[in-house]
Each structure stands twice: as structure tokens, then as C-alpha cells.
Chain A
Amino acid sequence: MSSALLERAVAHETKIGVIDCDVHHAMRSSKDLYPYLPARWREHLETYGSRRPTPFTGSSPYFKAAPALSRKDSWPRNGGPPGSDLAFLQEQLLDRYGIEAGMLHLLSPTGMDQRNQELAPVLCRAINEWQFHEWTQKDQRLKAAIVVPGEDAAAAVAEIEHWAGNRDFAQVSVVTHTIEPLGRRRYWPIYEAAAAHGLPIGLHSSGNNGYAVTAAGWSSYYVEEHHEVSMSQQALVTSLVCEGVLARYPSLKVVIVEAGLAWVPSLCWRLDRQWARMKDEVPHLTRPPSSYVREQVWFTTQPMDEPERPEDILSILEWIGWDRILFATDYPHWDFDNPETAFKAQMTEQQRRMVFRDNARAVYGLG
């Protein structure tokens, strides 16, 4: 293998405003939701709490690299977990890196994978109210996703209808570890509603469904699991394509968040080759699977893939399509990508503008 010099980020003449397509805001505590919850559910959360198919009340069994999954320097000065203090987030992320818009993805609590089916829609509504009042109304750079209780498609559609047209919400969010793969027909009404309102579906790895982290069983280590979340996202893309969701809703836009993206070309090559010899099973697909991906799916960049030859990232971005790439930091997580240094290969000015800003403006309908 050839050796290569570690390159600093190429110095750029023009400063481009950045749109960060994966920002994790957080609650100081579950009490943040209380103003938005009926008393019956406040009591329920304080007693029975969130119940999901996981063994611990306070942690994933795959312990993370760092407390709260976050950079050590992202804990706000006034207390509270990383991402919970707007002022600190503004200072450390938005202002520091010239972020003109940040797409919010809330990871905890999740409403959709609550085992109590009545709690799920109530929690989602409360989350969306909290996002609106405490975040997007306080800093117009921040855009929320409409969090929906997707295991109940009718309730999810109702939640979309409630917020559609509100410019603070730029996309619809469902968890990705669901009771059935997200391409299955029980979820179709959600896509129909999102497409009808011109809202992309933002798919950030999340949720608990009790299925093993791999088809081959439960891995032992976080070093494995942290890689395997990307495979779940790949299976998700496969599902949306093969179940015909993308074919059925040609105006639907899907954003795959925090999966990296170097896997996209080889997954598409495999999908196309295998479809070519099994297409009789899926007559609803009238063209190669990769064509649906090329037209309707976008990918955020984080965690930035690090080829052994840094310039190899360029042919991957080229293959996916320069208009399909959305820069993201994943702030405040430990594997955060610094917009100034994450790319180790030289892009043209136009490519940089697209990746760092213009593609996101187009996908999310931002000014």
C-alpha cells in the first residue's frame, strides 16, 4: 500500500455557510416534557417509565465510547447533558462553525418504540411541542423533525397532519429499529402523508425492537455494534427499495442519517446484480434498484469514511451524486465531524457548496 500524507483540511478562500444535517439536542431530564404531558402520563413516566425491549432502564447494553455518547468538551457549563443547553450549543456549534441551519434529531426519549401503545402518541406529541417551544422558536436556525409514533400508522399520520405547514419542522422522523422493516406496508400511510406534504423522511439509527444486532446474533463489543448500526441502515435502504416504497411514492424523499456513505455504491451494485436474477419476485420494481436510490435517497456524511487513500472518497461521492450528499457533524457525539477538517480530499468550490449547504437547502426547502 502506498503511504500518504495526512492532509490538513484544504484552506479555502471563500467561507461558505454550513447546513448541519445531524444535530442532537437533548433534554436536561425527562421533566422537560412535563409541561406538555397530561398528569396521568407524567405519573406513568415517573413510575413505570419508558419500557422498551432492552435489559436496562438506564443504558443500552452496548456501553458507548463516552458518557452520553458525547465529546468530553460538550458538557454545558451550567450543567445538564450535552446538547441540552441552547446557548452552549449555539456557541460551540452554530456560531463556531458558521452553521446557517441545523437539522435536529432527538435520540432520547423515543416515542415510537414504547411498548405501551397508548403512551407512544402522547409522548411524540409532547416531544414535538417541546421541540417547538424550547428550540426552534428560540433559534430559527434550528429545524426539527416531526417525531411520530410510527408503529401506529394512523396516529403517525395524525401527528404529521398536526404539524405540516409549520416551517419549524423540516422533515418527519421515525425510529429505524422497528417491529417490521420500514419498507413494509403497515408504514406506507406515513410515507404517503409525508410525500403529500413535501416533507422528507429523516432516518437516524434509533429505537429498540428486540431483534439481534446482527443476523448472526448478538455481538459482544461496542467496537462491533458501532459498525453494525450502519448495516442496519443499509438493510433499511434495501427495504425501502425492494418493498416498493420509493416506486410507489416517487415524490418521497428519504434522508439516511449517520450511517456514513462509503457503502452506498457497493450495496447498489449488489442490489442491481441480484435484482437482475430475481426480478420475477418483485415485479413492482420496474427498473434497477440503484435508480430509485439515485433519485430519492440522500445521505449525510457523518461518520466520515476514511479510505486508506484519502482521495478515494471522491469517487464514492461522485458515484452517489454530488447533489445527494448532506454534510453533518453529529454534534455533540464523540465521533463528531469537524466541518473544517473532516474532508481529507480536495473538492471543487461548487462541490463544497453543494455538500455543505445547497443540497440541504433543496432537500429541506430552506431559503
Chain B
Amino acid sequence: MSKHVVATVSEIPPGQRKLVTVRGRSIAVFNLDGEYFGLFNRCPHQGGPMCEGILTGLIESDEPGHYKYSRKGEIIRCPWHGWEFDVRTGQSYCEPERIQVRSYPVEVAEGTRVVEGPYVAETVPVTIEEQYVVVDV
């Protein structure tokens, strides 16, 4: 693993993302409300360009017909089969147990109700050094 500057902070304002190639791998860095998160641009399902998908909020429900909307812009939907991934953690919002993929350690924010994913998108550690966005790949 080594560190690479991929952007200046001002290049990725809140709500935006930047797609870059680092060491031959396609990565996206997202700015969620001032925090930066990195994901490899490859969906664990069929390898689609996951990070080029639409950012949505999270729709949950405790009862049929009741909708709870939160975390606007923090869920990335793969542009192919539409699978939902939490940009912060790479966790998918479908289907429990069964399958695991190689992933970097991720931290799950408290209070988030996440279905323990089989399909976890590979996250990329991101740090800010002065005005630079740095990934560790």
C-alpha cells in the first residue's frame, strides 16, 4: 500500500465525487458533507463501474406502506443491477450471511442499521493532508 494524491480538496465539494485511476485501478472519492470516502470502482456482483452510479438516500421501513428516508446522497447504486452500497462503509443493503469478499477493514457508524452484507464493496482509506485528498492503495 502506498499513498497517492488524487485531488485537491476544492476539486471535490460536498455531494460530488471524482473518479481516478491509481496503480491501474479505478477508484472514486466521494465527499459526503465534508467527509471523504473512497471506493474501488468495481461492483462485487459482476464488476460493473459501481462508482459511476446514482447517489441516493436510504429508504427503510418498519411497516408496509411506511417509508423512512435518511442519509440523502450517501448510498451509491451500481449503474448495472442497481445494488445499493453505503459509501461510508462499502456495505451492501441486501442479503445477509453467505458470501464474503476480500475487503479492507471498515468502520460502521453507530446507529446505522446495516444488513451485514455478503457483497461488500472494497473501500479505500482516504485522508486529507493540508489541501490534498490522499488515498492509500
Contact = CB atoms under 8 A, between A and B. Distances in A.
Interface stretch (A65-73, A118-126, A157-165, A201-209): A65-73
A216 interface: no
A65 B79 CA distance: 10
Interface stretch (A187-195, A335-343, A354-362): A335-343
B100 A65 contact: no
Nearest to A303: B81
B117 to A, nearest CB: 11
A3 B97 contact: yes
Contact of A334 (B47, B82, B97, B100): B82
Contacts of B44: 6
Contacts of A212: none
B80 A71 contact: yes
A5 B100 CA distance: 6
A54 to B, nearest CB: 24
Interface string B25-59: 00000000000000000001011110011100000
Contact of B99 (A5, A65, A72, A335): A5
B46 A72 contact: no
A72 B100 contact: no
A338 B99 contact: no
A5 B53 CA distance: 25
A338 B100 contact: no
B49 A73 contact: yes
A6 B79 CA distance: 20
B101 interface: yes
Interface string A295-337: 0000000000000100000000000000000000000001111
Interface string B71-99: 00000000111100000000000000111
A66 B48 CA distance: 15
Contacts of B79: 71-73, 334
Task: Output the residue of A3, A71, A342 with the most chain B CB within 10 A.
Answer: A71
B99 A3 contact: yes
Contacts of A342: 46
A9 B47 CA distance: 10
A6 B82 contact: no
Nearest to A65: B82
Interface residues of A, number: 21
B54 A72 contact: yes
A4 interface: yes
Contact of B100 (A6, A8, A340): A6
Interface in A1-47: 1, 3-6, 8-9
Task: Output the residue of A1, A3, A5, A6 with the most chain B CB within 10 A.
Answer: A6
A306 to B, nearest CB: 9
A340 B42 CA distance: 13
B118 interface: yes
A4 B119 CA distance: 12
A3 B80 CA distance: 25
Contacts of B49: 73
Contacts of A73: 49, 52, 79
B123 to A, nearest CB: 16
A338 B118 CA distance: 20
Interface string A72-91: 11000000000000000000
Nearest to A2: B98
B81 A335 contact: yes
A4 B98 contact: yes
B11 to A, nearest CB: 22
25 contacts: A1-B97, A1-B98, A3-B99, A4-B98, A4-B99, A6-B44, A6-B99, A6-B119, A65-B82, A66-B82, A71-B79, A72-B52, A72-B53, A72-B54, A73-B49, A73-B52, A73-B79, A335-B81, A337-B46, A338-B46, A338-B47, A338-B48, A338-B80, A340-B47, A341-B46
Interface of B: 44, 46-49, 52-54, 79-82, 97-101, 118-119
- 4 residue pairs, one from A and one from B, having the closest CB atoms: A72-B79, A341-B46, A341-B47, A338-B46
